[in-house]
Amino acid sequence: MGGDDAPRQIVEGAVYAARSVDSITCILVGDEAKVRAELARLVPVPKNIEIVHAPSFIDMGEVPVETLKKKRDASIIVAVELVKNGEADALVAAGNTGAVVAGTMLGLNMIEGVKRAGIAAPTPTLHGISYMIDVGANVNCKPDHLVQYGAMASTYMRLVSSVKEPKVGLLSVGKEGQKGNELVKEAHRLFEETSLNFVGNVEGTEIYNGDVDIIVCEGFVGNVILKSSEGYAENILSSLDNIVREKDPAGIYEGFRSKVIKELFHRFDYSTFGGAPLLGVNGVCIICHGRSNARAITNAITVARQCAEHRVTEHIRNEINLLDKATRVS
Amino acid sequence: MGGDDAPRQIVEGAVYAARSVDSITCILVGDEAKVRAELARLVPVPKNIEIVHAPSFIDMGEVPVETLKKKRDASIIVAVELVKNGEADALVAAGNTGAVVAGTMLGLNMIEGVKRAGIAAPTPTLHGISYMIDVGANVNCKPDHLVQYGAMASTYMRLVSSVKEPKVGLLSVGKEGQKGNELVKEAHRLFEETSLNFVGNVEGTEIYNGDVDIIVCEGFVGNVILKSSEGYAENILSSLDNIVREKDPAGIYEGFRSKVIKELFHRFDYSTFGGAPLLGVNGVCIICHGRSNARAITNAITVARQCAEHRVTEHIRNEINLLDKATRVS
């Protein structure tokens, strides 16, 4: 039920996913009447679509923890229960991120040894995709949380991508290890004790150039970077559109213009990348952008399926166990 | 002597500024032989260009505070001395930012009552220019530092721009005052006690949309945002270039393409905005991007002149004095 154009885009995305992969079942959790109304537009509905009714949901403006206690029949709570009981292998959600994070942590608990969950957001680079972790699950971050983020994202990337030795960079204000705030300096020291492929500090300019595969930062920083980049990209794209119109008032280049702009939007469209896994909770949870369209949801379901198939949760448990022994971070 | 293409771009920018405004004198501080060699390319050299010899300089990789103590004849130290002794009204520098900040603070001290200096970086928005403060002068920030940043940037903007009631936003991970980390929550509370035009929390997406004039954040966050936006913009612009080439291999649209891309680069070119004032130190200091070209330097000199003419330092002293009385922040 969550997301700017829900449940329409969610239902549509799930139907596409169910149609393209027979071996999965998509369980739509939400207001049954509304979900059925959307499904009616998408006939024939594939057989591997199911509905589980949840009468209420948590709105974008609501404070997660308070509301979660009151609305026990909210769609996010019901969906988390399905994962907890083994009736579902993964959860995909596009609603209030705070509610998804809190609901998942309360319902599924953390993986043994993990101190804080982190959202690993896929970001487009010149060479492919990198992951920035954390982008907002935890705003009161300690050095050992950052090291665990690096380890969890490495495990995830090794399993679901072709990158077998992901390069982990620590976001700071300068390349040298002694640059940064206290949080980052201590995390740098801890990272050096691990067997991760830690390449040292990276600066903001390096987030999108593809030199590293994983950018580790605290949730506050990751969140404002993700949103500011999105805002800046929108500025550039809308300026581009304006400039083309100014320079070509007669519309002579219209066909060319629309082809180029369409392709550019496509390359920088978050929906290509699907959702961001919430790593560290004891179960698969994929968080989608509030603006998710059907395509983004379909791609997020693919990410969820990969996480379940590759047993990401189990591998993270092992990795954290090894990390604890190596660094005595705990 | 600082900057990626120094002293060439610096000397050229200063000569342009001196030529266009008779009433100023540009004092070039650095290796006299190198400066003279650059000036030889720019004959006739205007009369309002002077040289002050400084035999050494601080390199980009050097740790500022340690080096500053050893290299007493470095260009930044000599330049700061000129401001301190009243022989110059303002300083413009494109070198190692840490060295410029530390050198200025050591040489000029802080304005009475100011706890930390902050760099106010001009950022392009859909409606003009806003300022993000701090982007890296201080990475160990407290709530009252953030409030002082808001007050200093408001004073600056009222004096040098047409915005008479600058809207001040506090960067956080959600609009509501209770969202964010402890630093931001406490700063939010303090801001509400001031007479500043405080509009509350803003999210990353709002940095570039022009809804607020001043975005207040801690130096670590501002620095990584500034650099990540720059990296992201470079990605988009280089992708645009690639896409146009792919879609138009024969170069039929070449003239149109180059006009559009040139204009787009121009609108998002940092050099249009000149330098960023370091607010809070007892004197005018304008910090330029390391990549500054001559145009950026000329524009930064204009910013420096405006700061001196409008007596920004004196007005900040009064503003901080009033702020202290209003909030008992000190």
The whole-angstrom separation of Cα A300 and Cα A286 is: 7
- 8 Å CB contact between A284 and A83: yes
Judging contacts by C-beta atoms under 8 Å, the chain B residues touching residue A231 are 204-209
What are the angstrom distances between the C-alpha of A270 and each of A98, A187, B11, B34, B286?
A: 20, 29, 44, 49, 37
Size of interface A-B (CB pairs under 8 A): 165
pLDDT at A260 (0 to 100): 83
pLDDT at B36 (0 to 100): 97
Alpha-carbon gap: B305 to the closest alpha carbon of chain A (Å):
29
Kindly state the helix (H) or strand (E) to which residue A119 belongs, with its residue range. strand A118-124
Is B221 close to A219, i.e. CB distance below 8 A? no
pLDDT at A284 (0 to 100): 98
Alpha-carbon gap: A118 to the closest alpha carbon of chain B (Å):
15
Under 8 Å CB-to-CB from B114, ≥6 apart: which residues? Answer: B148, B152, B280, B316, B320
Q: Is B234 a residue whose pLDDT tops 90?
A: no
Tokens found for residue A305 = 């399926």
pLDDT at A291 (0 to 100): 85
Alpha-carbon gap: B62 to the closest alpha carbon of chain A (Å):
10
Position B72, amino acid: R
The answer, for A173 touching chain B at a CB cutoff of 8 Å, is yes
Position B303, amino acid: V
Chain A residue with minimal CA distance to B141?
A: A181
Residue in A63, A226, A256 nearest the CB of B247: A256
pLDDT at A240 (0 to 100): 85
Judging contacts by C-beta atoms under 8 Å, the chain A residues touching residue B240 are 240, 260, 264
Substitution target in A235, A243, A259 with the highest count of B β-carbons within 10 Å is A235
Dihedral through CA B33, CA B38, CA B44, CA B46, nearest 10?
A: -80
ipTM score: 0.90
Among the ranges given (A110-124, B24-38, B221-235, B254-268), the one the predictor scored with the smallest mean pLDDT: B254-268
- 8 Å CB contact between A199 and A166: no
The whole-angstrom separation of Cα B49 and Cα B11 is: 10
Radius of gyration of chain B (CA): 21
Is A240 close to B260, i.e. CB distance below 8 A? yes
Judging contacts by C-beta atoms under 8 Å, the chain B residues touching residue A263 are 243, 247
pLDDT at A175 (0 to 100): 86
Alpha-carbon gap: B234 to the closest alpha carbon of chain A (Å):
9
Is A243 close to B220, i.e. CB distance below 8 A? no
Angle between helices B75-84 and B97-108 (to 10 degrees): 30
What is the arithmetic mean of pLDDT over B267-292? Answer: 88
List, for residues A14-51, the tens digit of each pLDDT value: 999 999 999 999 999 999 999 999 999 999 999 999 99
Residue in B209, B220, B232 nearest the CB of A233: B232
Tokens found for residue A86 = 């083994």
Mark which residues 221-250 of A lie under 8 Å from B by CB.
221, 223-240, 243-244, 247-248
- In eight-state DSSP terms, residue B46 is P
- Higher pLDDT: B244 or A282? It is A282
What is the arithmetic mean of pLDDT over B232-245? Answer: 85
Mark which residues 181-200 of B lie under 8 Å from A by CB.
181-182, 184
Rounded to two decimals, the pTM is 0.92
Chain A residue with minimal CA distance to B178?
A: A63
Substitution target in A4, A130, A145, A228 with the highest count of B β-carbons within 10 Å is A228
Mark which residues 72-101 of A lie under 8 Å from B by CB.
98
Task: Count Cβ neighbours within 10 Å for each residue of A270-288 and write b for 16 or more, e otherwise.
Answer: bbebbbbbbbbbbbbbbbb
Is B205 close to A227, i.e. CB distance below 8 A? yes
Confidence bin at A329 (pLDDT 50/70/90): very low
What is the arithmetic mean of pLDDT over A94-102? Answer: 90
Q: Is A213 a residue whose pLDDT tops 80?
A: yes
Chain A residue with minimal CA distance to B202?
A: A224
Is B232 close to A232, i.e. CB distance below 8 A? yes
Average pLDDT, chain A: 91
- State the pairing for strand pair A90-93/A129-133: unpaired
* Residue with tokens 């179960």, as numbered in its chain: A283
Is B178 close to A223, i.e. CB distance below 8 A? no
Chain A residue with minimal CA distance to B247?
A: A260
Chain B residue with minimal CA distance to A171?
A: B224
Is A268 close to B236, i.e. CB distance below 8 A? yes
What backbone torsions phi and psi does residue B131 show, to the nearest 5 degrees?
Answer: -120, 135
Position B144, amino acid: D
Q: Is A262 a residue whose pLDDT tops 50?
A: yes
- 8 Å CB contact between A121 and A277: no
Q: Which of B239-242's residues contact partners 24+ apart within 8 Å by CB, and which partners?
A: B239/A264, B239/A267, B239/A268, B240/A240, B240/A260, B240/A264, B240/B264
Most confident range (mean pLDDT) of A176-185, A232-241, B218-227, B237-246 is B218-227
pLDDT at B252 (0 to 100): 82
Q: What is the largest CA-CA distance in chain A?
A: 68
- 8 Å CB contact between A115 and A141: no
pLDDT at A325 (0 to 100): 79
Judging contacts by C-beta atoms under 8 Å, the chain B residues touching residue A220 are 172-173, 180-181, 184, 221
Phi-psi region of B83 (alpha: psi -120 to 50; beta: other; left: phi over 0): alpha
Supply the DSSP string of A56-91, one letter for each residue: B---TTS-HHHHHHH-TTBHHHHHHHHHHTTS-SEE
Judging contacts by C-beta atoms under 8 Å, the chain A residues touching residue B205 are 227-228, 230-231
- Higher pLDDT: B25 or B269? It is B25
- In eight-state DSSP terms, residue B124 is E
Kindly state the helix (H) or strand (E) to which residue A51 belongs, with its residue range. strand A49-53
pLDDT at B330 (0 to 100): 44
The number of CA neighbours under 13 Å toward the Cβ of B82 is: 25
The whole-angstrom separation of Cα A28 and Cα A25 is: 10
The answer, for B171 touching chain A at a CB cutoff of 8 Å, is yes
- In eight-state DSSP terms, residue A26 is E
The answer, for B260 touching chain A at a CB cutoff of 8 Å, is yes
Confidence bin at B329 (pLDDT 50/70/90): very low
Share of chain A above pLDDT 90, in %: 68
List, for residues A126-185, the tens digit of each pLDDT value: 788 999 999 999 988 999 999 999 999 999 999 999 999 999 999 999 888 888 999 999
Alpha-carbon gap: B51 to the closest alpha carbon of chain A (Å):
32
Tokens found for residue B112 = 């009475």
Chain A residue with minimal CA distance to B207?
A: A228
Position A239, amino acid: S
The whole-angstrom separation of Cα A211 and Cα A168 is: 10
The whole-angstrom separation of Cα A216 and Cα A128 is: 18
- 8 Å CB contact between A100 and A94: no
Residue in A178, A208, A224 nearest the CB of B225: A224
Judging contacts by C-beta atoms under 8 Å, the chain A residues touching residue B98 are 174
The whole-angstrom separation of Cα A303 and Cα A306 is: 5
Is A171 close to B224, i.e. CB distance below 8 A? yes
- State the pairing for strand pair B276-279/B284-287: antiparallel
Share of chain B above pLDDT 90, in %: 68
Tokens found for residue A20 = 């393209």
Is B229 close to A232, i.e. CB distance below 8 A? yes
Judging contacts by C-beta atoms under 8 Å, the chain B residues touching residue A206 are 231
The number of CA neighbours under 13 Å toward the Cβ of B81 is: 11
Confidence bin at A113 (pLDDT 50/70/90): very high
Is B63 close to A243, i.e. CB distance below 8 A? no
List, for residues B172-204, the tens digit of each pLDDT value: 998 888 889 999 999 999 999 999 999 999 999
The answer, for B272 touching chain A at a CB cutoff of 8 Å, is no
Please classify residue B47 by burial: count the beta carbons closer than 10 Å to its beta carbon, then call 0-12 exposed, 13-18 middle and 19+ buried: exposed
- 8 Å CB contact between B217 and B171: yes
pLDDT at A330 (0 to 100): 44
Is A268 close to B63, i.e. CB distance below 8 A? no
Confidence bin at A328 (pLDDT 50/70/90): low
